[in-house]
Amino acid sequence: MSKKPLILGIETSCDETAASIITENDKGIPTVLSNIISSQVDVHKEFGGVVPELAARSHIEKIDWIVEKAISDSGKKIEEIDAVASTAGPGLIVCLSVGLSFGKAFASAINKPFIAVNHLEGHALSPKLNSHLNYPYLLLLISGGHSQYLSVQGLGKYKRLGTTIDDALGEAFDKTAKLLGIEFPGGPQIEVLAKKGDPEKYDLPKPIFNKGGCNLSFAGLKTAILKIAKSIKTEQEKFDLAASFQKTVEEILNKKTKIAFEEFEKENKLKEKVFVVAGGVAANKKIRSALINLCEANNYKSIFPPIELCGDNAAMIAMVGLEKYKLNEFNTLDYPAKPRWPLDEKAAFLKGAGVQLS
Ligand code: KG4
Ligand code: ZN
């Protein structure tokens, strides 16, 4: 039996320092042997958002022992590692540079190949860590910096069907939380508050709901919340606003996902219709159940990463590394950090992001 690849993944694109060792079993199913994540919430809390310089400094302080712990927790030895995969973008350049340089140096020291990974591709492939997934599939990527519908044709092959024309969905959750006086990072707290509120209390706008295909827009929603938040007097009103916001997001995603289904089906001959939701916001249970119901009604199989792998982690980076390793797709040690690195480069550089709103 041939040795299964053992991949070290490293992630430092924003405010999580993470390292992971993964391999695959005899049936080719990926197996996570260790997954270490150190969040910097305490570093950035007092500033109400991520401060790049402080984030980079914290990555530098922690990266050594995070990688060491990932290796020791995996029960493997350094010399058994077959390749090192680091996030090269997109993200904060000062942060990316830490994990990227560390990964290159590590690969060079153990004389093994180095693989540069797109963080968004990590999210895109994260469901492979617990589910069998064939190409093509429709992906909704909803994170702190991105909100996109993508037709995923294969490793590195993405066609963007829709994107946000302003704020990302995670950003809308975070900004709403801030307006409600919730401490950074507030996005996940909205889900908690919403449970105690009346989702019908406030009628919030749904920007570009009836136009723009499956493109998204959340900035108008945030402005409406800003106005209402100023007049809020009781805790109950706060819960109601959180619940109304979350319900509005569910309605927007329901409508736009149906359009994305149609566009995806037009583009692909499908044996099986698969819809994957990934990125930090995919951890939201209300959004998950709304999209699961939509999939059931439209004959789609819905796939989500496990909740703990929705946010930033290095297992998803190692997952891309594993797929690239099997295809001998390695990178040289002069590979640059790419603060901007869209999955569908053609769409990203279209004038006005190529979004038709009429
Ligand atoms: O994927 P991710 O960890 O980082 C980026 O690559 O951006 O996503 C982080 C985003 C944040 O905006 C956070 O507020 C949001 O995901 N998020 C959530 C939940 N958990 C994380 N939003 C809504 N509900 C949640 N439960
Ligand atoms: Zn992310």
pLDDT of residue 354: 62
Which ligand 1 atom minimizes the distance to the CA of 171?
A: 12
What ligand has the least distance to the C-alpha of 15? Answer: 1
- 7-127+309-326: CATH superfamily: ATPase, nucleotide binding domain (3.30.420.40)
Which residue spans within the chain are E strands per DSSP? 7-11, 16-24, 30-39, 83-89, 114-118, 137-142, 147-154, 157-163, 274-278, 301-303
Q: How many angstroms is it from 172 CA to the middle of ligand 1? A: 10
Which ligand 1 atom minimizes the distance to the CA of 91?
A: 6
Q: How many angstroms is it from 311 CA to the middle of ligand 2? A: 6
Counting Cα atoms < 13 Å in the Cβ hemisphere of 39 gives 9
Report the C-alpha gap between 332 and 53 in whole angstroms: 27
Q: What strand order describes the sheet that includes 274-278?
A: 157-163, 147-154, 137-142, 274-278, 301-303
Residue nearest to atom 7 of ligand 1 (CA): 144
pLDDT of residue 348: 75
pLDDT of residue 352: 54
Q: How many angstroms is it from 318 CA to the middle of ligand 1? A: 20
Residue nearest to atom 16 of ligand 1 (CA): 280
Where do the structural domains in the chain lie, given as residue ranges? Answer: 7-127+309-326, 135-304
Which ligand 1 atom minimizes the distance to the CA of 186?
A: 14
Mean pLDDT by 10 residues, the chain (358 residues): 91 96 93 96 88 96 98 98 98 98 98 98 96 95 96 97 96 95 91 98 97 96 95 96 98 98 95 97 97 98 96 98 98 98 85 59
Of 281, 285, 341, the one to substitute when testing ligand 1's pocket (max ligand atoms within 8 A of C-beta) is 281
- How far does CA 128 lie from the centroid of its chain? 14
Q: How many angstroms is it from 243 CA to the middle of ligand 2? A: 25
Topology of the domain covering 135-304? Nucleotidyltransferase; domain 5 (3.30.420)
- Sign of the torsion angle spanned by Cα atoms 345, 350, 352, 357: negative
pLDDT of residue 45: 87
Q: How many angstroms is it from 148 CA to the middle of ligand 1? A: 14
Write out residues with Cβ below 6 Å of ligand 1. Answer: 143-145, 170-171, 173-174, 185, 187-188, 191, 279-281, 283-284, 311-312
Q: For the whole model, what pTM was predicted?
A: 0.95
- Sign of the torsion angle spanned by Cα atoms 275, 212, 250, 235: positive
Q: What is the 3-state secondary structure (H, E, C) of 95-137?
A: HHHHHHHHHHHHHHHHCCCEEEEEHHHHHHHHHHHCCCCCCCE
DSSP state of 164: B
For residue 101, give both structure tokens. 């340089």
Counting Cα atoms < 13 Å in the Cβ hemisphere of 117 gives 38
Q: How many angstroms is it from 143 CA to the middle of ligand 2? A: 6
The domains spanning 7-127+309-326 and 135-304 adopt the same CATH topology:
yes
pLDDT of residue 189: 97
Answer for the pair 86, 305: CB distance below 8 angstroms, yes or no. no
